[in-house]
Amino acid sequence: MTIADRIQSLRKSKGMSQEELADAAGVSRQAVSKWESEQSVPDIDKIVILSEIFGVTTDYILKGIEPIETNDHKTMADVIDQRVLTEKNSKRAKSVLKWVLIVLGGLLLIDAISMLIYFIANGFPT
């Protein structure tokens, strides 16, 4: 889709005539007609005005890039804070797991030693 196609599509989606768009943008109807027929392109200041009229970004008019919509209004600081917390929680979980394994290993060692002492004191079963 070209700039001309996007302007025409946006104008029609708003239910505007070329004359109405021309009045809103401060240009002649012929200028709008030339934009839509690819005979010319709007100046940058007119692109900004068109973006305000249609409620889209200038990137959309110029390149067709749709803005990324997000319901989540996180700032970069929020994202970094979340990543830091996730890393801290991951390190904490690894530390807890390490100590649980050490304690279990210690209990198994104590059990093995007590069983060995029992067999030495009472003899091995035959």
Assessment of whether the complete model's pTM goes beyond 0.85 = no
Residue 82 confidence (pLDDT): 82
Residue 73 confidence (pLDDT): 66
Over residues 57-76, the pLDDT tens digits come to: 999 999 988 766 656 667 77
How much is the mean pLDDT over the chain? 90
Residue range 3-63, CATH number: 1.10.260.40
Over residues 5-29, the pLDDT tens digits come to: 999 999 999 999 999 999 999 999 9
Whole-number Å distance between alpha carbons of 87 and 94: 11
Q: How many CA atoms lie within 13 A of 44 on its CB side?
A: 0
